[in-house]
Homo-oligomer: A and B are copies of this chain.
Amino acid sequence: MTSSPAHTTPTAKAKKGPRGDLFDPGCPTRRLLDRIGTKWTSMTVKVLAEAAPYEVRFAELQRRVPGVSQKMLSVTLRSLTRDGLVARRVEPTVPPRVHYRLTELGLSLETALAVVRAWAEEHMLDIDRANELHDAQPDVT
């Protein structure tokens, strides 16, 4: 996914590498897609949405997001929390218990994500067929 050019060299002027770091940090759509496009975000949001309005603990989340590693779940949740899409609550017991739930903002995002999911479930087979047709390359004279 698109890297985050947002924070590149805070002090100086956008010092760029070969990468086009400053392409369009302003486009909201691209920025949103960069978030929901990361591998585990949509699934995590979905699971949290299904559990709403209840909270879900870390381990339980990992169980419900098939295949996610502790690291990636952690990274994903931290990102979602930072974005205000997820609320994190720590029970100061020992060992600690951490609970997560979608915020209002997160729930509204889920609504949009649901549309994407619906499209995917309805049309991905069409895309698969298109791919097969395309790959069965008849000679393009």
Contact = CB atoms under 8 A, between A and B. Distances in A.
Interface string A10-27: 000000000010011001
How many copies the complex holds: the figure is 2
A93 interface: no
A88 to B, nearest CB: 11
A91 interface: no
A127 B25 CA distance: 13
- A contact patch SS: helix
Contact of A116 (B82, B112, B123, B135): B112
Contacts of A115: 112, 115-116
A70 interface: no
A51 interface: no
Given A108-B123, A116-B116, A33 B37 contact: yes
Chain A interface residue bracket vs B = 35 or more
A74 interface: no
A84 B120 contact: no
B126 A8 contact: no
A119 B84 contact: no
Given A29-B120, A42-B30, A66 B24 contact: yes
Interface string A29-43: 111111011010011
A139 to B, nearest CB: 15
